Structure 1
């Protein structure tokens, strides 16, 4: 439950900050990239967890999950804005 509360707060903050990070001309590309990154992570993350679960056990999956920082689309967008 707390995870969903955090996701709701993070989502609102993310939507508010993206227009502040980039010029208007890059905004559409940044939103599309963020959506693609989010959907790929939703598909690939559970698949990787499944492979780890088969190879080890659920405890290892939770340990790895606890050690990984959440993906940051902000870092991706800032990196792309530096390239353009």
Structure 2
């Protein structure tokens, strides 16, 4: 059975479900799988990108363009 046929069969069985608990469990599984798939699509920075970000951060700090952790915490409390 190919993937498309399996998907259709799964959807047909899903539509027959009457248990809200079973549907919730399947939703959680689907969300977890989607989150994991999204993580696999992330690409790491190149060394040049990382070095550029470090340089910009150091420049921002030297030029007082930052917020302290206490400022950030106060904003969200």
Q: Which has the larger radius of gyration?
A: 2
- Which TM-score band (shorter chain)? 0.3 to 0.5
Between 1 and 2, higher relative CO (CA 8 Å, sep ≥ 6) is seen in 1
TM value normalised by structure 2: 0.34
TM value normalised by structure 1: 0.32
Whichever structure has more helix as a proportion of its residues is 1
